[in-house]
Amino acid sequence: TQLLESRQSLGASVAGAMLAGAAWGLLNSALITLLKVSPFIATLGTMGAARGVTLVITNGMPVVNL
C-alpha cells in the first residue's frame, strides 16, 4: 500500500509484495529447518510478527480505498 500511495507503478507494488512474501516464507522455512520448530508453531509465530509489522506500518489505521 505504501508503494501505491507514493504513486509507484502497479508492477512495482506487486513485485514488492511478492518479495515481502518470499522473505517471510524464507524466515518461516529457516525456523522450521534450522531451529527444528514445529511448522504450525513457526507459521503462527511469523503470522504474529507480520501482523505486528503491519500494525506499525499502518499506525493502526485500516487500509481503505485501494
Dump pLDDT digits (tens) for 3-30.
Answer: 556 677 888 888 989 999 999 999 999 9
Q: What is the pTM of this model?
A: 0.68
Cell of 49: 510478527
Q: Decide if 24 contacts 46 (C-beta within 8 A).
A: yes
Sign of torsion over alpha carbons 35, 16, 18, 46: positive
The pLDDT of 58-64, averaged and rounded, is 83
Mean pLDDT computed over every residue of the chain: 87
* CA R_g for the chain: 14
Copy the grid coordinates of residue 66: 485501494
pLDDT at 1: 55
Supply the pLDDT for residue 66.
Answer: 66
Q: Which residues contact 28 (CB under 8 A, 6 or more apart)?
A: 42, 43, 46
